[in-house]
């Protein structure tokens, strides 16, 4: 579906067709791939669930680095239609071959996992059962806030950098090389956005999901605050924007691992599909809300203030997650 959406979009001449092919068809296909693989990882590696989902999520992010430059070169050499067809075919072939090599673990292949701290019960919860619990909705709100705040920064990065006096003509010297500041920042951000997923996933396997969330989310809030303080320095913008992404990208490893810890593995794929809708909430709210705030105030400062507030609030909710749920009687 994803590769077919690329190929179909090569033959589209209007915006509605683009929404239907590149938007709808590719979006559904990509979502199935991502949710499906995450669902398998949490089953195969119950004792390293955070790290396993982090590696998958890192691949999801690093893929952009691998394809950006070849796609850009082909666009310039052969045009967008040829590029969409070629890479759509490649994605479809890789997806099909990869899918044929995947399977769920069979009975006896995975050791029986003891009940993890924070689990609602010793059994697997179906989606219907999960959706009735306040614990799930707390996680949904937390992921929605982190997704919205992160996308406010990501989608408007070039715009606020220009408002700080850093544009396409701004260069920075790193290790004796003169580089364009904004492209360098975007490349560095993609790297840190990929690395953070297995890193914090691995950390969460050792110190707990909630503690790791608290550290990472508050780290992002601090990084955004520091980025504002050094907003006119292109080198610091590169470094601190990378730190912002390092504190944001791990939501794609920590939340699925936490959800499976809490509600079990049997329905892990469907359950995470419901939680992953929080990313959709962030996609809908992040960019438009940031733009609306900027248009009404003429400044990016309120946007960053809102993002910092959501980061700190979500980090504190994570740190007190278990105690809060117990105190409210949401779980034993």
Distance in angstroms (rounded) separating the CA atoms of residues 96 and 149: 34
Write down the pLDDT at residue 47.
84
Residues 134 and 34 both lie in one domain = no
Residues 175 and 139 both lie in one domain = yes
Does residue 54 register a pLDDT over 50? yes
Does residue 103 register a pLDDT over 80? yes
| End position of a domain, from candidates 63, 80, 106 | 106
Does residue 2 register a pLDDT over 90? yes
Averaged pLDDT for residues 132-149: 91
pLDDT band (50, 70, 90) for residue 119: very low
**pLDDT per residue over 69-80, tens digit each?**
788 889 989 999
Write down the pLDDT at residue 101.
93
| End position of a domain, from candidates 78, 106, 134 | 106
Residues 79 and 122 both lie in one domain = no
Residues 132 and 38 both lie in one domain = no
CATH of the domain at 216: 1.20.1250.20
Averaged pLDDT for residues 89-95: 94
Does residue 226 register a pLDDT over 70? yes
Residues 88 and 198 both lie in one domain = no
Lowest mean pLDDT among 181-190, 196-205, 255-264: 181-190
Residues 299 and 164 both lie in one domain = yes
Residues 64 and 120 both lie in one domain = no
> Domain count of the chain?
2
| End position of a domain, from candidates 71, 106, 141 | 106
Averaged pLDDT for residues 190-196: 88
pLDDT band (50, 70, 90) for residue 112: low
Averaged pLDDT for residues 33-46: 88
Write down the pLDDT at residue 111.
62
Averaged pLDDT for residues 2-22: 93
Write down the pLDDT at residue 330.
58
Q: What percent of the chain has pLDDT over 90?
A: 40
Which structural domain range is residue 134 located in? Answer: 115-332
Write down the pLDDT at residue 289.
87
**pLDDT per residue over 284-317, tens digit each?**
888 888 888 888 988 888 989 999 999 999 999 9
Residues 138 and 223 both lie in one domain = yes
Residues 125 and 143 both lie in one domain = yes
The reported pTM is 0.82
Residues 138 and 49 both lie in one domain = no
**pLDDT per residue over 165-182, tens digit each?**
887 788 887 887 788 888
Residues 101 and 222 both lie in one domain = no
Does residue 194 register a pLDDT over 50? yes
Residues 191 and 221 both lie in one domain = yes
Write down the pLDDT at residue 315.
92
Does residue 31 register a pLDDT over 80? yes
| Mean pLDDT across the chain | 86
Averaged pLDDT for residues 257-268: 89
């Amino acid at each position: 579906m994803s590769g077919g959406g690329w190929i179909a979009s090569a033959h589209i001449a209007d915006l509605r067709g683009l929404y239907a092919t590149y938007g709808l068809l590719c979006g559904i296909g990509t979502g199935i791939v991502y949710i499906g693989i995450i669902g398998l990882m949490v089953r195969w590696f119950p004792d390293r669930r955070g790290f396993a989902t982090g590696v998958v999520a890192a691949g999801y992010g690093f893929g952009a680095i691998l394809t950006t430059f070849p796609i850009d070169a082909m666009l310039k050499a052969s045009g967008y239609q040829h590029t969409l067809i070629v890479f759509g075919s490649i994605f479809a072939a890789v997806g099909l071959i990869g899918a044929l090599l995947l399977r769920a673990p069979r009975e006896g292949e995975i050791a029986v996992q003891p009940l993890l701290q924070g689990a609602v019960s010793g059994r697997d919860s179906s989606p219907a059962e999960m959706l009735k619990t306040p614990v799930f909705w707390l996680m949904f709100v937390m992921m929605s806030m982190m997704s919205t705040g992160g996308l406010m920064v990501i989608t408007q990065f070039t715009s606020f950098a220009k408002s700080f006096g850093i544009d396409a003509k701004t260069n920075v010297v790193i290790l004796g090389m003169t580089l364009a500041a904004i492209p360098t920042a975007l490349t560095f951000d993609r790297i840190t956005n990929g690395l953070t997923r297995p890193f914090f996933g691995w950390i969460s396997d050792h110190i707990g999901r909630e503690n790791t969330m608290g550290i990472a989310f508050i780290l992002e809030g601090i990084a955004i605050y520091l980025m504002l303080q050094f907003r006119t320095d292109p080198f610091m913008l590169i470094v601190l924007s990378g730190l912002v992404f390092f504190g944001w990208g791990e939501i794609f490893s920590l939340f699925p691992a936490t959800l499976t810890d809490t509600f079990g593995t049997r329905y892990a794929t469907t359950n995470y599909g419901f939680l992953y809708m929080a990313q959709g909430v962030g996609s809908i709210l992040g960019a438009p809300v940031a733009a609306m705030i900027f248009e009404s105030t003429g400044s990016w400062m309120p946007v960053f203030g809102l993002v910092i507030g959501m980061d700190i609030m979500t980090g504190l909710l994570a740190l007190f997650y278990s105690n809060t749920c117990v105190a409210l009687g949401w779980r034993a």
